[in-house]
Amino acid sequence: MKIDDDPDMFNMEGMKLAKLGNYDDAILCYDKALELDPKNVYVLYNKGNALRMLGKDNEAIAYYDKVIELDPLNVDAIYNKGNALNRLGKHEDAILCYDKMLEFERRSVDALTNKGNSLIALGRYEDGKLCYDKAIELDPKNVDVLYNMGTLLQHHDEFEDSLLYHDKALELDPNNVDVLANKASALINLEKYDDAMICLDKALELNPKTIAALYNKALVLKKLGKGDDAVSYCDKILEIDPSDTLALQLELSIMNKNM
pLDDT for res 258: 60
Q: Please compute the mean of the pLDDT values over residues 38-65 and round it to a whole number.
A: 97
What is the pLDDT confidence band of residue 4, given thresholds at 50, 70 and 90?
A: low
What does the mean pLDDT of the chain come to?
A: 95
Q: What's the domain range around 147? A: 140-259
CATH code, domain carrying 257: 1.25.40.10
Is 181 a domain residue?
Answer: yes
Q: What percent of the chain has pLDDT over 70?
A: 98
Is 126 a domain residue?
Answer: no
Q: Please compute the mean of the pLDDT values over residues 132-152 and round it to a whole number.
A: 96
pLDDT for res 2: 47
**Residue 235 predicted with pLDDT over 50:** yes
Is 232 a domain residue?
Answer: yes
Q: Please compute the mean of the pLDDT values over residues 75-100 and round it to a whole number.
A: 97
What is the pLDDT confidence band of residue 53, given thresholds at 50, 70 and 90?
A: very high
The string of DSSP codes covering 162-218 is HHHHHHHHHHH-TT-HHHHHHHHHHHHHTT-HHHHHHHHHHHHHH-TT-HHHHHHHH
Is 222 a domain residue?
Answer: yes
Residue 119 CA: distances (Å) to CA of 42, 44, 202: 30, 29, 33
Longest dimension (CA), the chain: 78
What is the pLDDT confidence band of residue 1, given thresholds at 50, 70 and 90?
A: very low
Count of Cβ atoms closer than 10 Å to residue 98 Cβ: 28
Rounded Cα gap, residues 97 and 118, in angstroms:
11
The residues, ordered by sequence, that sit 6+ positions from 51 with a Cβ below 8 Å of its Cβ are: 23, 27, 57, 59, 60, 63
**Residue 152 predicted with pLDDT over 80:** yes
Q: Please compute the mean of the pLDDT values over residues 61-84 and round it to a whole number.
A: 97
| CA angle at 201 for the pair 198 and 205, rounded to the nearest 5° | 140
Is 100 a domain residue?
Answer: no
Is 167 a domain residue?
Answer: yes
Q: How many domains does the chain have?
A: 1
What is the pLDDT confidence band of residue 241, given thresholds at 50, 70 and 90?
A: very high
Rounded Cα gap, residues 58 and 85, in angstroms:
8
Q: Backbone phi, then psi, for 158, in 5-degree steps?
A: -100, 70
CB 47 within 8 A of CB 67: no
pLDDT for res 5: 77
* 111-130 pLDDT, tens digit each: 999 999 999 999 999 999 99
Q: Please compute the mean of the pLDDT values over residues 29-48 and round it to a whole number.
A: 96
What is the pLDDT confidence band of residue 44, given thresholds at 50, 70 and 90?
A: very high
Is 259 a domain residue?
Answer: yes
Q: State the amino acid at position 99 in one-letter form.
A: D
Per-residue b or e along 66-81, where b marks 16 or more CB atoms closer than 10 Å to that residue's CB: bbbeebeebbebbbbb
pLDDT for res 173: 97
pLDDT for res 80: 97
What is the pLDDT confidence band of residue 179, given thresholds at 50, 70 and 90?
A: very high
**Residue 160 predicted with pLDDT over 90:** yes
| Prediction pTM value | 0.85
The string of DSSP codes covering 123-156 is T-HHHHHHHHHHHHHH-TT-HHHHHHHHHHHHHT
Task: Provide the CB-side half-sphere exposure for 230 (13 A, CA).
Answer: 22
- Residue 58 burial (CB < 10 Å; 0-12/13-18/19+)? exposed
Is 95 a domain residue?
Answer: no
pLDDT for res 255: 84
Q: Backbone phi, then psi, for 115, in 5-degree steps?
A: -65, -40
